[in-house]
Amino acid sequence: MQQVLAMIYLWLKAGHLIFVIFWMAGLFMLPRFFVYHQESAPGSPENAIWIDREAKLMKIIMWPSLLVVWVLGLTLAMSIGAFSQGWFHAKLALVLALTGYHFWLANYAQLLAAGQRKLTGRKLRMLNEIPGIAAALIVILVIVKPF
């Protein structure tokens, strides 16, 4: 099995990065959608459009990307023996946090669809910084491997 993984390692890595980009795009877009959604009148046609956009983003881009990122990421980690390396533990913790953020976004989309607007646009804009900070830290961990 290790020999097969070594042969396709670069393809796995490329696929992982491609789907990380797709997933991150969704993590950046959805909170922005929420800001605009909250500015629309409840029950209006515009409100319905935002509900549809959010659902499509989650269904077509974010959920599939999340799944592929995890499958390819864990496969890559196995192929290089990353589970014993400190940098990988830190990266894994950040990816778990981003995954939790993803699930929180999915829940907030359901709340907005049900007419519940619990956060302000300002708070949503602040939350939109989470994936960027996490991505920067993950890139540093993977490239530099500081520990």
For residues 30-44, b (16+ Cβ closer than 10 Å) or e, as one string?
bbebbbebbebeeee
User: SS3 of 137, please?
Assistant: helix
Residue 23 tokens, joined: 């997933």
Residue 113 tokens, joined: 């669809």
Question: According to DSSP H, which parts of 40-129 are helical?
Answer: 45-56, 63-80, 86-113, 121-127
16 belongs to an annotated ligand binding site: yes
Residue type, 72: L
Residue with tokens 């961990």, as numbered in its chain = 141
Residue with tokens 């864990």, as numbered in its chain = 74
Binding site: which residues?
16, 91
Residues tagged in the binding site annotation for heme: 16, 91
